[in-house]
């Protein structure tokens, strides 16, 4: 077993290929960051729409009334 390990050649990566792969990964990360920012904005817009919804306002007011009742009973 040790003979096999000793006879194996050391792998030396091609630096040009490493640089090219690194550049591709950097571009992908930048694109993913941009996509995440756009999704965060869409989520914020949807949350704002939800907060302006009559149903949401009704449920929120109902929850506040319930909590006021509970705090006065305690």
Q: What is the pLDDT of residues 14-38, one digit of tens each?
A: 999 999 999 999 999 999 999 999 9
Domain ranges for the chain, please list them: 21-73
H helices of 2-74, where?
2-7, 15-51, 54-73
Q: What is the DSSP letter of 53?
A: S
| pTM for the model | 0.60
Where residue 2 falls among pLDDT bands split at 50, 70, 90?
low
Average pLDDT, the chain: 90
Q: Are 50 and 56 in contact (CB under 8 A)?
A: yes
Q: State the pLDDT at residue 52.
A: 95
């Amino acid at each position: 077993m040790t003979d096999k390990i000793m006879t194996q050649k050391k792998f030396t990566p091609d630096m040009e290929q490493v640089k090219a792969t690194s550049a591709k990964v950097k571009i992908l990360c930048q694109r993913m960051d941009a996509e995440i920012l756009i999704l965060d904005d869409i989520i914020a817009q949807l949350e704002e729409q939800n907060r302006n919804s009559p149903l949401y306002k009704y449920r929120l007011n109902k929850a506040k009334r319930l909590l006021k009742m509970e705090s006065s009973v305690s």
